[in-house]
Chains A and B, each alone.
Chain A
Amino acid sequence: MRTVAKEQDVDYGDDVVAVPLRHPWRWISGILASALLLSFIYSVVSAKSIQHDLVVKFLFDPRILQGAGVTVLVTIICMFIGTVLATLLAIMKLSVNPIQRWLATGFIEFFRGTPLLLQIVFWGYLGIIFPELFLGIPFTDIVFVSGETSDIIPAIVAGIIALSLNEAAYSAEIVRAGILAVDQGQTEAAKSLGMSSRYTMRRIVLPQAMRVIIPPMGNEFISMLKNTSLLQMIAVAELYTQASTISAANLAQIELLIVSGFWYLLMTTILGFPQRSLEKKYGRGFETVGGRAAPRVFKVGKR
């Protein structure tokens, strides 16, 4: 008894200085993987068939830069339209109105169930199916505006329509999952304060859903940026189209693939930054340490 009590009294201080456990396999596997990577890079760099000077020459070619600009522009426009439509579809799918639910479900099933490439080509060919478009009252002779389809919907607009609608179908499920992740008690509290359902959605539910929505939407953004290359099929002058037009003339296919690959990689990497700051913004009030909420005030001193 006495010895136990004595041992508890001893002040050990910071005396746990133990010989660290060795981890040889961490080193071996790491070195092996690095060696593989280095040999691959070496074989690409040293390959006689690749004209490295051409890669450097076309990296900043004005056509390539312009194409990259179109790619970014189309991506941003499509993500914007897609996200707005997706939110609408998600709310429709959660609606009490069965017709709204069916319409939203049908839209989502249709656009998720057919290949994106097919949809893009379809919108590109719209002028063949409907040579003229008009705005008026159906089944009457009243027409407000009319014109040739190819004038109203040039290739880039067709491409934007195709990508936006497809995106809406995919992200509708992301938004819906985000909305469902918000606790039911939040809506009840909002109701009890006299908030309308629209106000509750906008100010209480959606801001909380954002936390769940943003990480998968970051993925969607990156997919969208890469999927714009499919617009080459309908001759929209984006990055991949420009690169393939150049390579069709100078036959330097591989070099121009490397050039466009470089730009795609650079753009997707840059896109990661706003995502992180958005995640931080909508994560406010949800910070946790070891599963429990961490007081923000105490965090400052920890750096």
Chain B
Amino acid sequence: MTEVMVDARSVRKSYGAVEVLSGISLTVEQGEVLCIIGPSGSGKSTFLRCLNHLESINGGRIYVNGELMGYRQVGNVLHEMKPQEIAKARQGIGMVFQRFNLFPHLTALQNIIEAPIGVAGMNPEEAKALGLELLAQVGLEDKGEHYPSQLSGGQQQRVAIARALAMKPKLMLFDEPTSALDPELVGDVLDVMKNLAKAGMTMIVVTHEMGFAKEVADRVVFIDKGQIVEVGTPSQVLDNPQEARTKAFLNKVL
């Protein structure tokens, strides 16, 4: 019996009059790798950012690891969570951004151990050991003392993955992690993600890498205009799409 890690129910999100997500329902089980594909502006990144409450939602509910995200429900009334409670909830959810967002004033190792020491209260020696271990895991054991500006895009993204892993998350969100990379650097980042998937990490990946989706994903979701158009195994969605919109999109990208 597998446990549900993410349970999104009819999630709606609008910016003013523009509705970006119009009722997205989706569950992700523990250890599952889910790839979200779709045209730009389809709402896939916004959905990802709602999952760790970087964006608040206008309708529906999001449960991560059984906990309602961003709110506390008392009877039928929702109460906004305190900032500390939201921060606490985010500790269990790692996020990797398209533009890496490493802290440029800190070295690679310092980037990784900042949150474990400052947020989780780990002792610095222990954190450093963990940091070096994570750097080795992403193949950058000799780059700990480098500042982000001294690393290639691919190396920066691998440090960013290590930084997210340092908080020992139960769920990892990837927001187009290879879109800002030179083509020859994409492979290294995808390799790290594949290893993570093999190790049993629950992952939600917004991506344009159809090869990665085919090889690693348990399920693929195609989102367009804020709605789920098609869900299924990679071979169902990518090789044998049923919906016209999915077919049109895949024709363009493949």
Contacts and interface: CB of A to CB of B under 8 A. Distances in A.
Given A199-B118, A297-B146, A191 B103 contact: no
Contacts, number: 87
Given A186-B103, A193-B167, A297-B146, 10 more contacts: A189-B102, A190-B103, A191-B54, A193-B114, A194-B119, A194-B167, A195-B119, A204-B114, A285-B104, A296-B147
Contact of A193 (B90, B99, B106, B146): B90
Contact of B149 (A183, A191, A199, A285): A285
Contacts of A287: 149
B90 A285 contact: no
B99 A196 contact: no
Contact of B101 (A189, A199, A294): A189
A196 B83 contact: yes
Interface in A258-303: 282, 284-288, 293-297
Contacts of A196: 83-84, 87
A186 B101 contact: yes
Interface string B86-130: 011011011101010111111100000011001110000000000
Contacts of B87: 191, 194-196
Contacts of A186: 101, 103
Nearest to A210: B105
Interface string A68-91: 000000000000000000000000
A193 B119 contact: yes
B163 interface: yes
A254 B231 CA distance: 87
A282 B105 CA distance: 8
Interface residues of B, number: 34
Contacts of B94: 192
Contacts of B149: 285-288, 293-294
B106 A285 contact: yes
Contacts of B104: 208, 285-286
A15 B170 CA distance: 64
B204 interface: no
Contacts of B164: 192-193
A165 B198 CA distance: 60
A288 B147 CA distance: 12
B150 A197 contact: no
16 contacts: A188-B97, A189-B95, A189-B101, A189-B103, A193-B119, A195-B119, A196-B87, A203-B118, A208-B103, A285-B104, A285-B106, A285-B107, A285-B149, A286-B105, A295-B146, A296-B150
B114 A192 contact: no
B150 A193 contact: no
Interface in A174-201: 183, 185-186, 188-197, 199
A207 interface: yes
A293 B146 CA distance: 12
B152 to A, nearest CB: 10
B148 interface: yes
A134 B178 CA distance: 64
A194 B105 contact: no
Contact of B148 (A204, A211, A285): A285
Contacts of B97: 185, 188-189
B207 interface: no
Contacts of A195: 87, 115, 118-119
B101 A193 contact: no
Contacts of A286: 104-105, 149
Nearest to A293: B149
A247 B225 CA distance: 81
B202 interface: no
Contacts of A295: 146, 150
A204 B150 contact: no
B227 interface: no
A294 B167 CA distance: 30
B157 interface: no
Q: Which of B87, B90, B91 has the largest number of chain A CB atoms within 10 A?
A: B87
A228 B35 CA distance: 64
A285 B148 CA distance: 7
A198 to B, nearest CB: 9
Interface in B50-66: 52, 54
A192 B87 CA distance: 8
A142 to B, nearest CB: 35
A207 B111 CA distance: 14
A195 B83 CA distance: 10
Contacts of B99: 185
A194 B54 contact: no
Q: Which of B107, B115, B120, B146 has the largest number of chain A CB atoms within 10 A?
A: B115
Closest 7 CB pairs of A and B: A293-B149, A194-B91, A285-B147, A189-B101, A192-B95, A193-B115, A185-B101
